[in-house]
Structure 1
Amino acid sequence: MTSPDHKPTASQPPVPTVKDRIYRSPMGLAGGVLLLAVVAWLGFDALIKGHGRTPWLALATMILVIPPVVAFTLRPAVFANEDRLRIRNPYRVITVPWGEVEALRSGFTNEVRTRSGAKYQLWAVPVSLRARKKAERRAASAARRSASDGAGLGSRGLGFGALTARGADSAGPTRAEGDKVMDDLRDLLDRRGEAESAQGGTTIRWAYEVAAPTVAGAVLLVILLATNG
């Protein structure tokens, strides 16, 4: 028997899981959708209206072309949380705990370097030199306006110069989008690199679900072309 003073303990609520921050390329997504629409339009037109071997050739070509288009445009993404960085590239998924990350570097590409010396490119965070130069020009322009407006405010008080200073940032961002993403990732690395839950080794998984259809389409197309006539 249980004593009258015994009270059943309430079950502990589950610990909420921190959702991943997801980074993708808007231009890559838009380009992928456009390419898929063109391939589908041409392919299905050949499937429906084609004669003889044409529908089979169209089908093989679609099987060959669609997976790479998806792999290089729609698939790439970077997932980051408090414990690890997961990089979904066209044909691989690389998971790196923050404790294993040595550096996040930006040059002509954005990449992560591990303590073991391996480097992995972030396909979902491309570098746009044009956007970077444009952002640098905006930052320099904002700095010049701030300096000139500050001098004007010191002698005339609040006036048109103050309005210009407050509106200096409205011309656009002073950091390219890819550089801002890398800043976010570096902040996570700085905060979580030494955390106990962020330790471990790098794991790599190949995306066979993307590569296999491409190989199948290539084999089918080769067979059709080899048996032509």
Structure 2
Amino acid sequence: MTTPDHQSPSPQPPAPSVRDRIYRSPAGLAGGVLLLVIILWLGIDALVKGHGRTPWLALAGLILVVPLVIAFTLRPAVFSGDARLRVRNPFRVVTLPWGEIVSLRSGYSNEVVTKSGAKYQLWAVPVSLRARKRAAHRAARAEAAARGEAAGRGGRRSGGFGGFGSGGLGGFGGFGGARDAGDTGPIRAETDKVMDDLRETLARREHEGPAQGEVTVRWAYEIVAPVVAGAVLLAILFAVG
């Protein structure tokens, strides 16, 4: 019996696909669920207990309003993958290869700018001026606490009574800042952190081969169609009196 000189290598298992990182607004999700509960409760109650045209008006209102609430609260999301950024806004889905993106800009809204000059707003990553202000206040407190701690350490090294007082005040200020000991980065609002993550991904991926391509835009007909149908039904009901 002869044995083969070599054995064929066993096929390697395919590399696991990396899932997209998803960014959504927790406040939008919570508000959307609450609104849907209230709207469905009132609408179904009118459908069951209403008289005359009331059930029809309630039905048309539900067909019109429910998709709009879903579109502006539950639907928006940003999907960050290795090859592209996919932006799901209320009425459109925009797929942007990283190579076609020029910048991710933050102002009164967060938006992505393409090489062609087109701008697309990131509905799932809303700007909160209040959150930015809170982050700025926390950063100022943390900086003041750090200065106090540094002064306290200098005072303890000098051995003077004044240094002891500075150290005590610095420790109290650090507790008020309420920041993790291992967190040495700048204090930022959550949506600003999301934009920082997206910019880092853009810097890593924009020149890679799979990240090249064309920007595509798809209308969300699953949202637009029922909204139009509900609006037409309401118009007919009001027209016939």
Q: TM-score, normalised by structure 2?
A: 0.87
How far is the alpha carbon of 1:15 from its aligned partner? 1.6
Q: Which residue of 2 aligns with 1:72?
A: 72
How far is the alpha carbon of 1:175 from its aligned partner? 1.1
SS in 2 for 1:116: coil
Q: Distance in 1 between matches of 2:230 and 2:20?
A: 34
Tell me, yes or no, if the aligned pair for 1:25 and 1:126 is still in contact at 8 Å: yes
Is 164-173 or 104-113 further displaced after alignment?
Answer: 164-173
Q: Distance in 1 between matches of 2:122 and 2:111?
A: 5
Tell me, yes or no, if the aligned pair for 1:23 and 1:78 is still in contact at 8 Å: yes
How far is the alpha carbon of 1:34 from its aligned partner? 1.2
Which of the two has higher C-alpha Rg? Answer: 2
Which digits, 9 at most, give the CA deviation of each residue in 1:169-200, with x for residues without a partner?
A: 52599211110110110111111121122111
The aligned amino acid for 1:75 is R
Counterpart mapping for 1:119-198 below 5 A: 119-156=119-156, 160=168, 163-164=171-172, 167=175, 170=178, 174-198=187-211
The aligned amino acid for 1:170 is A
Is 164-173 or 108-117 further displaced after alignment?
Answer: 164-173
Considering only aligned residues, what root-mean-square deviation do their CA atoms show, in Å? 2.2
Q: Which residue of 2 aligns with 1:91?
A: 91
Q: Which residue of 2 aligns with 1:207?
A: 220
Q: TM-score, normalised by structure 1?
A: 0.91
Tell me, yes or no, if the aligned pair for 1:100 and 1:115 is still in contact at 8 Å: yes
SS in 2 for 1:7: coil
The aligned amino acid for 2:230 is G
Tell me, yes or no, if the aligned pair for 2:43 and 2:59 is still in contact at 8 Å: yes
Tell me, yes or no, if the aligned pair for 1:153 and 1:162 is still in contact at 8 Å: no
Q: Distance in 2 between matches of 1:73 and 1:3?
A: 67
The aligned amino acid for 1:120 is Y
Counterpart mapping for 1:37-48 below 5 A: 37-48=37-48
Q: Which runs of 5+ in 1 are unaligned?
A: none
How far is the alpha carbon of 1:162 from its aligned partner? 7.2
Q: Which residue of 2 aligns with 1:114?
A: 114
SS in 2 for 1:35: helix
Which digits, 9 at most, give the CA deviation of each residue in 1:65-109, with x for residues without a partner?
A: 111110000000000022211100000000111111101110000
Is 47-56 or 8-17 further displaced after alignment?
Answer: 8-17
How far is the alpha carbon of 1:114 from its aligned partner? 0.6
Q: Distance in 2 between matches of 1:147 and 1:162?
A: 8
SS in 2 for 1:19: coil
Q: Distance in 2 between matches of 1:82 and 1:64?
A: 37
The yes-or-no answer on 1:30 pairing with 2:27 is no
SS in 1 for 2:178: helix
Q: Which residue of 1 aligns with 2:7?
A: 7
Tell me, yes or no, if the aligned pair for 1:149 and 1:164 is still in contact at 8 Å: no
> CA 1:132–1:79 in 2, change beyond 3 Å: closer, same or farther?
same
> CA 1:141–1:12 in 2, change beyond 3 Å: closer, same or farther?
same
Q: Which runs of 5+ in 2 are unaligned?
A: 158-163, 181-185
How far is the alpha carbon of 1:154 from its aligned partner? 1.7
Which digits, 9 at most, give the CA deviation of each residue in 1:123-145, with x for residues without a partner?
A: 00000111101111110111111
Task: Work out the number of aligned pairs and report it.
Answer: 227
Is 114-123 or 219-228 further displaced after alignment?
Answer: 219-228
